[in-house]
Copies of this chain bind each other. A is one copy, B any other.
Amino acid sequence: MSTSTAYHHGNLRAALIAAAEALLEKAGLEGVSLREAARAAGVSHNAPYRHFPSREALLAAVAAAGFARLAAAMDTAEPGSRAACRAYLGFAAAHPALYRLMFGPGLSKDAHPELRAAAGAAMRPLRAISAAGASREAAVGVWALLHGLAVLLADGQLADDLAARPEELAEVALATYGAGLRAAAAAPGSG
């Protein structure tokens, strides 16, 4: 903002992340190009390389910012609560392409440590579920249920009338799974 001497952009890094995210939502992952982002930021096609060593690094930064926003969205809710799950699903429905980028392959968390940190922080509210006493496998089930709904929504695999009410879906599915968890706790080892 303040420093804009026409030659030096002033805040290119943030501008590129914003441009890349806009491209991501508009044209999907394959539609995000370094050159297009640079164009949108009003700089030459090579300027991004001063801030990101590769296209993948820019995408990792976009994903990390996404995790931060996801964490913020869940932050107002009780960790592990139904509200947190609803916020999670709402985020996925509102930013499908970003959600896919965050949880998809292609962005190795080993190659981008900042990504691992951001993801870990964002997932904490969900990990509270397994801390609440459920077995590890059962807790994975909750995450899988949530993630499965999120991905089905993000990829448009659900019938339209169902996709229109993501919160209701989450409510029913989580209530069902929760009832199953309680039943298993009451009568363990039943088959």
Contacts and interface: CB of A to CB of B under 8 A. Distances in A.
Interface of A: 28-30, 96-97, 100, 103-106, 135-138, 140-141, 143-149, 151-152, 154-158, 162, 168-169, 172-173, 175-184, 190-191
B103 A157 contact: yes
Contacts of A106: 28-30
A162 B137 contact: yes
Contacts of A143: 148, 152
A151 B154 CA distance: 13
Q: How many copies does the complex hold?
A: 2
Tell me if A's interface is mostly helix, strand, loop or mixed: helix
A148 B182 CA distance: 21
7 contacts: A30-B106, A137-B168, A140-B173, A144-B144, A144-B173, A175-B191, A179-B180
A144 B141 contact: no
A151 B151 CA distance: 8
A162 B138 contact: no
Contact of A105 (B144, B147, B155, B158): B155
Contacts of A149: 140-141, 144, 148
Contacts of A183: 179-180, 182-183
A111 to B, nearest CB: 13
Given A141-B173, A145-B148, 11 more contacts: A28-B105, A97-B105, A103-B157, A137-B162, A138-B172, A143-B148, A145-B177, A175-B184, A180-B183, A182-B183, A183-B183
